Structure 1
Amino acid sequence: MPRNAIYAQSGGVTPVINASAAGLLLTARQYPQHIERFFAAKNGILGVLNEALIDTAVLSERELHQLKQTPSGAFGSCRHKLKTDAELKRLLAVFQAWDIGYFFYNGGGDSADTCLRVSELARAANYPLQAIHIPKTIDNDLPLTDCSPGFGSVAKYVATSVREAGLDVASMAASSTKVFVLEVMGRHAGWIAAASALASRQAGEPPHLILLPEVPFESERFITLVQDTVARYGYAVIVAAEGVKDTSGQFLSETGLRDAFGHAQLGGLAPTLVAQIKAATGFKCHWAVADYLQRAARHLASATDLAQAVAVGEAAAQLAVAGQSEVMITVERLSDKPYTWEIGAVPLAMVANVEKTMPPEFIDAQGFGITDLARRYLSPLIQGEAPPPFIDGLPDYGFWQWQLETPRLPRYSQEV
């Protein structure tokens, strides 16, 4: 007998997370003998707890293809860590009320942990559930997969921005700005900052200095390199990952706040660096923070990234109906040139709460750039263009106002 399914999006969104949803939903529709109704939870795991469910049958095939071309999380996302037995019991109660036999959670490392805990809860309660984690994170820090869907598009956006901003700074440096600092995301892993190096095709082209969380920050050495760079090229373009730490392991930009998972809230690294540079050199400086722009830039998505995002969604549906559970879908690299890949899967227990940082062999000897090995890894991930359709000069993105299903359980009263 067919059973029902729930899909939820979790954590920071990406330019292509909706493409994974589209791949999943379109593929699931090919298996009516396994999946009868397919729901999406509004705002991630909170949508399951609050029984805020969307019947995805309302989406036509045309709308599912539009979903593939739309950035952000169309069904809503959240950052919420399951903390209590009451929450876990509530999840199981919702699954039972709606005869959920398939749970698909689309997110990063914390989401992998949530997916695993839900699966373990169901097994302990003798409740049959296929739990599949669909990878997503712009930080590219999920282990056991060649890359994480979402990263390639952000890498392409950041490298493009650095190339364009670098030309701007170079054109004005003689009489104006000498130093430009771009702050990008990356708490513990410097993959995004490292990808900015793809903007440079030959020596002297920006970025000139890259600050990675994997390399302890030494202020005096940094200032000296900035001065040397300006003396050599007339200007300096710097890309800094938000998670840069000093030699004692303290984040340079820690605000003192924590998120739902206990992670330090970061912010303000670029102006902090600029203040140091100005005080030491007197150079005129500008700074910018890519922030949400980098993870919403669907207009500049990598075709490779988009294809992988769709593929992991498709594979999730296929593996679930084949009886697989407690796995994360992976991308497995077969060759660099030409870049070829295939889809695989790994046990969820090997993924949950494990971060993949930049390996030492990807970081150059100075610690402010990348090696040829890193460039060989990164370059294929930004290849190809996959622009959305444009109307009146702007991307034609979808925007949906969802009608929620009528709850079958008493209202969930615990504050979440």
Structure 2
Amino acid sequence: MSGRNAFYAQSGGVTSVINASAWGLIQGCRARPDTFGTVYAGREGIIGALDENLIDTSKFLDDTLEHLLWTPGGAFGSCRYKLKGIEQNRTEYERLIEVFDAHDIGYFFYNGGNDSMDTAHKVSLLASEMGYPLTCIGIPKTIDNDLAATDNCPGFGSVAKYVATSTAEAGYDIASMCGSSTKVFIMEVMGRHAGWIAAAAGLASERAEFPPHMILFPELTFDADDFLNEVDRCVADYGYCVVVASEGIAYADGTFVAESGVKDAFGHAQLGGVAPALAKLVGERTGHKYHYAIADYLQRSARHIASKTDLDQAIAVGEAAARYAAEGLQGVMPAIIRGDGDSYTWSIQPADLSDVANHEKFMPRDFITDNGYAITQAARDYLQPLIEGECFPPFKDGLPEYQRLDLERLVARKLAPRA
């Protein structure tokens, strides 16, 4: 006899390995038929639950699901949709429980970042208050690497590998032309409040003269004059200057260098592009010829250069989520714990969602050099293992052989549409 059904949803910005977590979870549930019935996935994340658009993953054969291990994006669809506090919008939370009850769902797995862990925590509390038996487990995912209670976050290692590689490759390009062409190259990477992705670019620099010559961290105040002086110094010393800037760098008054004045669905300030803003500053104040690039979605979708460590950890947190639920744990998230010793080891342990929800993990100051423009050896020691190992997808006709799932396999609705 099978157990109660489970609901899985992907949330927020996706990564190149989030689908591997989905694979780990689904396989973990399939291996425990006495505990889990059908695993339903929400089409477009939590919106799929609210709208009762549920995908029956039991319809997918193991061979089909295996493609999740090397396909980027969110296979079941993700969304930027933040459920407000229970006291502000109890109706939406009650709608979730209503849908879960209609489909005999006793397990809720939410795969996302800070806001998602907060949602999973709140749903857990409300289900308990309403007397509805529901096990809520968060599954960590964020390229920003800013989740508390875990050493690092699935999705980050692959972005770090992409950014470090791109920085090195662009550096060779600029160095070959700087005598008569571009002197300054600026690459913008994601990271609103935490500079982990920008820091990863520093792995490309084996010596001071190697790019990146400057890294701009959101943890430190941006000083335009000091920045421009350092650009001039690098051009004078090395012939060119490669800058990697986190999208969230801000002035002393807290204003983002690239703030657009628009809010996104989570209520965060929409950032308008720090690279062109810095490039304009360089052009107007120094006269150096410049180019810039915005890594944007390319950095988080680059499955072709994913880190094997990252892939393994993404699978592991999905598998652990199923195991924790089967063991009766409630309101937890599988966290990655770094082992002691010179060689890199890691394990998975449960962390309470209350210790993760709405907490941000920033770059430690001792990971950043005194001048504020590079990473220290401590940062290198932390970052290096996370980008190691290759796990190339299969290729066909010269391109990665990715696969889209058939998301039309929706379960028949049992409820009226939500208001």
**TM-score after normalising by structure 1:** 0.98
Q: Deviations over 1:342-392 (max 9, x none)?
A: 001111001100000101111110001111001100000000000000000
**Aligned-residue offset at 1:412:** 1.5
Letter in 2 for 1:173: C
Matched, 1:110 2:115: yes
In structure 1, distance between residues paired with 2:226 and 2:361: 27
Q: Name 2:43's counterpart in structure 1.
A: 42
Opposite residue 113 of structure 1, the aligned amino acid is D
Q: Please tell me whether residue 169 in structure 1 is matched to residue 149 in structure 2.
A: no
Q: 1:306 aligns with which of 306, 311, 314?
A: 311
Task: State the one-letter code of the partner of 2:104.
Answer: D
CA deviations 1:261-301 (Å, max 9, x no partner) are 21101022101101111111111000000000000000000
Q: Helix, strand or coil: the match of 1:220? A: helix
Pairing of 1:2-401 with structure 2 (within 5 A): 2-83=3-84, 84-335=89-340, 337-401=342-406
Percent identity, aligned pairs only?
Answer: 56
Hey, what's the Cα distance between the residues in 2 that align with 1:213 and 1:53? Answer: 39
Aligned residues: 413
CA deviation map 1:101-152 (0-9, x unaligned): 1000000000000101111110000111110000000000001101000000
Whether the 8 Å contact between 1:328 and 1:345 is mirrored in structure 2 is: yes
Q: State the SS of the aligned residue for 1:366.
A: coil
CA distance in 1, matches of 2:302, 2:327: 35
Are the counterparts in 2 of residues 197 and 369 from structure 1 also a CA contact under 8 Å?
Answer: yes
State the one-letter code of the partner of 1:405: V
Q: Secondary structure, in 3 states, of the residue corresponding to 2:37?
A: strand
Give every structure 1 segment of 4 or more consecutive aligned residues whose post-TM-superposition deviation is greater than 6 Å.
Answer: none
Q: Give yes or no for the alignment of 1:404 onto 2:404.
A: no
CA distance in 1, matches of 2:121, 2:265: 18
Residues 228, 190 of structure 1: alpha-carbon distance in 2 compared, 3 angstrom cutoff: same
Deviation of 1:260 after TM superposition, in Å, equals 2.0
Alpha-carbon distance in 2 for matches of 1:379, 1:28: 33
1:49-69 Cα shifts (integer Å, max 9, x gaps): 000000001111111211111
Conserved 8 A contact 1:94-1:409: yes
Rounded to whole Å, the distance in 1 between the matches of 2:270 and 2:184 is 26
Query: What amino acid does structure 2 have at the position aligned with 1:185?
Result: M
Give the whole-Å Cα distance in 2 for the aligned partners of 1:46 and 1:305.
27
Cα displacement (A) at 1:338: 1.5
Q: Distance in 2 between matches of 1:57 and 1:190?
A: 40
| Superposed displacement of residue 203, structure 1 | 2.3
- How far is 1:337 from its partner? 3.2
Q: Does the Cα contact within 8 Å between 1:336 and 1:380 map onto a contact in 2?
A: no
Q: Which SS does the other structure have where 1:335 is aligned? A: coil
| One-letter amino acid of the counterpart of residue 340, structure 1 | T
C-alpha separation in 2, matches of 1:137 and 1:121:
25
Check conservation: 1:336, 1:377, Cα contact below 8 A.
no
Q: Deviations over 1:63-110 (max 9, x none)?
A: 121111100100000111113111111101001101111000000000
Partner Cα separation in structure 2 for residue 379 and residue 268 of structure 1: 28
What amino acid does structure 1 have at the position aligned with 2:417? R
In structure 2, give the amino acid aligned to 1:227.
D
Return the alpha-carbon distance in structure 1 between the equivalents of residues 146 and 312 of structure 2.
19
2:339 partner SS: strand
Asked if the contact 1:336–1:376 (Cα under 8 Å) also holds between the matched residues in 2, the reply is no
Q: Which deviates the most, 64-73 or 182-191?
A: 64-73
What displacement does 1:401 show? 2.5
Q: Secondary structure at the match of 2:9?
A: strand
2-structure distance, mates of 1:114, 1:335: 33
| Residues 26 and 64, structure 1, Cα contact 8 Å, conserved in 2 | no
The offset of 1:328, in angstroms, is 1.0
CA distance in 2, matches of 1:256, 1:321: 46
